[in-house]
Amino acid sequence: MLNRHILERVLLRAMSGGADFAEIFAERSRSSSISYVDSRIESIYDNTLSGVGIRAFLGVRTVYASTTDITEEGLMLCAASVAEAIGEGRADQNIVLSERITPNIHPVRIVPSDSLTGFAADLLKAGCQAAAGYDKRIIQVQGRLMTNDRNILIANSEGLYITDRSVRTRIAISAIASDGTENQTGSASPGALMGLEFFEEHMPEEIGRRAAEQAITNLEAVYCRAGKMTVAIESGFGGVLFHEACGHSLEATSVAIGASQMAGKLGQKIANEKVTVVDDGTIPGGWGSMNIDDEGNPARRNVLIENGVLKSYMIDRLGSRRMGLPVTGNSRRENYSFEPTSRMTNTFILNGPDRNEDIIASIEYGLYAKEMGGGSVNPLTGAFNFSVREGYMIRNGKICEAVRGASLIGTGSQILENIDMVGQNQACGEGMCGSRSGSVPVGVGQPLIRMTGLTVGGR
C-alpha cells in the first residue's frame, strides 16, 4: 500500500485550491468468477482492480477524481487537478496521518486464491449438477461462483489513516424448466462476507435444488390475476420491499437535497407501530457488512424506525454537512472510481408480535409472496415496483395454487402504514444494490409480514 508521507503530500496538494477537507481512497482488489453452463465449467476469469480516488470538499461543494496511476507523480497530478477544480483559494495546513486500528469482526478462514480455483469450480459444479438432476424438466442450469478480496486504505486531512480487508463469496444458480412449449426459471444466490468456508454451512447441492424446485413450481403455476389485494411477504429476501420502498428514501443522498418523501420527518410516526427497522453493518459475515465504511467510519447498527417512528437517516460525510447531522457509518462505493455516498448495509424489519400461522390464516383472498425478485423506487414519490419470483394464492386462510408473473407496486409511505401484521421468523437475504456510487452488496431481511391494499400486477 501507499507510503504515509506520500499520502500527506497528496492530501496537501488536493487542498491547495482552498478545500477544507480532502480524502484519499486507495484500493487493490482481486475478483474472480467461475461460470457453469450446459453441464460444464464454461469460463473462468479474474481481475485485479487497482486505483485511487481523491476527494475534496469546500463546504458542500465536492470534487472527485480517480486514477489507476498510483505512482507518486500520478497521484500528485490527480490531486493538482482536484485542487484546480475546487477553486482558486489556498490552504495552509499541516497534515499528520495517524493510523487507526479497527478490529476485524469478520474473520476469514479460507481465503479464495489461485490455488483454490479447482476446489471452487468443484463446489459450483456440485450445486449446478444437483439442480440439473432435480427433475427431468430442468433443461438448462447456469451457475456462477464469485469471490472478491478487497483491500482498501483511507487517509484524510483530519489525520485519519486506516486500512481494511474484506472477502466476499457468492454463488448464483439459475435453473430453466420447460414442458416443451414454454420455459420458466428459478434461482438461488446466497452470499456472505466470508471466504470459501461459506460452503460449510451452505451446501451447494441444496442451493442448486432450491433453484430447480422454484423453476418447476413456476412451470406448473398459473398466471397471477391482477388487482388490489392483501399480500403476505415471506421472510428473508422479502425485505427487499422495505429496502426499495423505504430504505432508499432514508439515505442522505436523497434526503439532503429534499428529493425524498421522508425528508423532515424525523421523530414522526411514519409506519405501523409493529414496525421496527434497523440497518446493521456489524452482523458477522453478513453480505452487506463491513468493518469500516468507505470513509473510514466504523460500521454501526442504526435503528431507522422504532415502533413506527422515524429515528434516523443513513448519512455519509457530505450528507452530514448538508443536513447538520452526524455520519452513521453508511458511506459506500462500488470501487475507487466512484465517489462514495450514503447506502444501506444489512437493512431489515425486526420480529413483531404476530404468529406466522395467524398471518396466513387471517387472509381470505390474497397473494403469498414466498420469494421476491428485485425492484426499484423513486425516492421523491416513494413509488416502487417489485417482481415476485415465487408466489401462491391464498384463499380462506390457506396457501393454494402457485402463480407466476406477479409484480407489486405502490408507494413507500402507503406500505409502511399498511404493514399491519409482523411475524416472528426474521431472516436475511442477499442482493446487489445499484445507485449513484455503483453496485454494492446489501443484506435485506424481515419476518413474514402482512400488507393490505397492494396493487398486484399480473394478467
Partner 1 sequence: MIDFEELKAELIKAAAAAGIEQYEIYYQLIRDASAETFRDEISGFSFGVSGGICFRCISGGRMGYAATELMTPGEMHELVIRAHENAKHIENDDEVFIYPGSPKYGQKTREADKFPDAALLKNNALALQRNTYAKSKHVTDGTQSQVFAFETETRICNSMGLDLKNTAGATGGYTRAVVKVNGESADDYDFTLGCGLDSLLPLSDNAVSGALAKIGAGEIDSGKYDIIIGGRQMQGLLAAFSSVFSGKSARLGLSLLAGKEGCEVASSCITITDDPFDPNCPMQTTFDAEGVAVYTKNVIEKGILKTLLYDLTNAKKAGVGSTGNASKGSYASTVGISPFCLSIRPGEYSLEELFRIVRSGLYVTEIKGLHAGANHATGDFSVECAGFLIEGGRRGQPVKSFTIAGNFYGLLRSITHVGNKVEYGMPSGFTVFASPAVLVRDISVAGK
| Contacts (CB under 8 A) with partner 1, residues 161-220 | 176, 178, 182-185
Q: Which is nearer to partner 1, 188 or 456 (CB)?
A: 456
Cα separation of 347 and 304, whole Å?
A: 9
DSSP conformation letters of 308-371? TEE---B--HHHHHHHT----S-EE-SSTTS--EE--SEEEEPP-SS-HHHHHHT-SEEEEEEE
Contact set for partner 1, span 57-96 (CB under 8 A): 60-69, 74, 81, 84-85
State the nearest-atom distance from the C-beta of 361 to partner 1, in Å: 26
SS (H, E, C) 244-296: HHHHHHHEHHHHCCCCCCCCCCCCCECCCCCCCEEEECCCCCCCCCCCECCCC
Integer Cα distance of 239 and 225 in angstroms: 23
Tell the smallest beta-carbon distance from residue 30 to partner 1 (Å): 9
Residue of 102, 356, 411, 452 that binds partner 1 (CB under 8 A)? 411
16 forms part of the interface with partner 1 (CB under 8 A): no
Grid cell locating 286: 453478513
Looking at the Cβ atoms of 398 and 459, the one nearer to partner 1 is 459
CB of 322 vs partner 1, minimal distance in Å: 9
* Residue 407 sits in the site that holds partner 1 (CB under 8 A): yes
**Rounded CA gap, 179 and 154, in Å?**
54
For 358-413, where are the E strands, in sequence order? Answer: 365-378, 383-395, 398-404, 407-411
Task: List the interface residues with partner 1, window 313-372 (CB under 8 A).
Answer: 337, 339
Residues 283-312 that bind partner 1 (CB under 8 A): none
Spatial contact of 185 and 178, defined as CB atoms under 8 Å apart: no
Contact stretch for partner 1 (CB under 8 A) within 189-197, 308-316, 377-385, 438-446: 377-385
Which residue, 279 or 339, has its beta carbon nearer to partner 1? 339
**Which of 164-172, 188-196, 357-365, 383-391 is the region at the interface with partner 1 (rule: CB under 8 A)?**
383-391
For residue 227, state whether it binds partner 1 (rule: CB under 8 A).
Answer: yes
> What does the per-residue mask of binding to partner 1 show for 107-126, with x meaning CB under 8 A?
-------x--xx--x-----
Q: How far is CA 258 from the centre of its chain?
A: 23
Cβ closest to partner 1, residue 423 vs residue 431: 431
For partner 1, the closer of residues 287 and 336 by Cβ is: 336
Q: Which of 102, 151, 351, 381 binds partner 1 (CB under 8 A)?
A: 381
Q: Binding of partner 1 at residue 46 (CB under 8 A)?
A: yes
Helix (H) or strand (E) holding 418: helix 412-418
Q: Residue 328: what residue type? A: T
Evaluate whether 31 touches 49 at the Cβ level (below 8 Å): yes
User: Between residue 259 and residue 278, which ones bind partner 1 under the rule CB under 8 A?
Assistant: 259, 261
Window 130-149: residues binding partner 1 (CB under 8 A): 139-140, 142
CB of 288 to partner 1, least distance (A): 18
40 lines the binding site for partner 1 (CB under 8 A): yes
| Nearer of residues 18 and 405 to partner 1, judged by Cβ | 405
Is residue 404 a contact residue for partner 1 (CB under 8 A)?
yes
CA 284 to each of CA 90, 113, 115, 240, 287: distance values in angstroms, whole numbers, following the listed order:
44, 22, 26, 20, 9
What is the Cα–Cα distance from 32 to 10, expressed in whole angstroms? Answer: 32
Kindly state the cell numbers that stand for 389.
419470483
* From 104-112, 203-211, 416-424, 450-458, span contacting partner 1 (CB under 8 A): 450-458
Contacts (CB under 8 A) with partner 1, residues 238-257: 254, 257
For the CB of residue 358, give the shortest distance to partner 1 in the complex, in Å: 28
Q: Which of 151, 385, 424, 452 binds partner 1 (CB under 8 A)?
A: 385
Residues in binding contact with partner 1, number by CB under 8 A: 79
Please name the residues in contact with 181: beta carbons below 8 A apart, sequence gap of 6 or more.
none
Residue 92 phi, psi (nearest 5):
-105, 105
> Which of 2, 50, 137, 427 forms a contact with partner 1 (CB under 8 A)?
50
Say if CB 352 and CB 421 are below 8 A apart. Answer: yes
- Other Cβ atoms within 10 Å of 407 Cβ, number: 17
Please name the residues in contact with 245: beta carbons below 8 A apart, sequence gap of 6 or more.
Answer: 375, 377, 382, 384, 410, 411, 412, 415, 416
Quick one: 68 or 93, whose CB is closer to partner 1?
Answer: 68
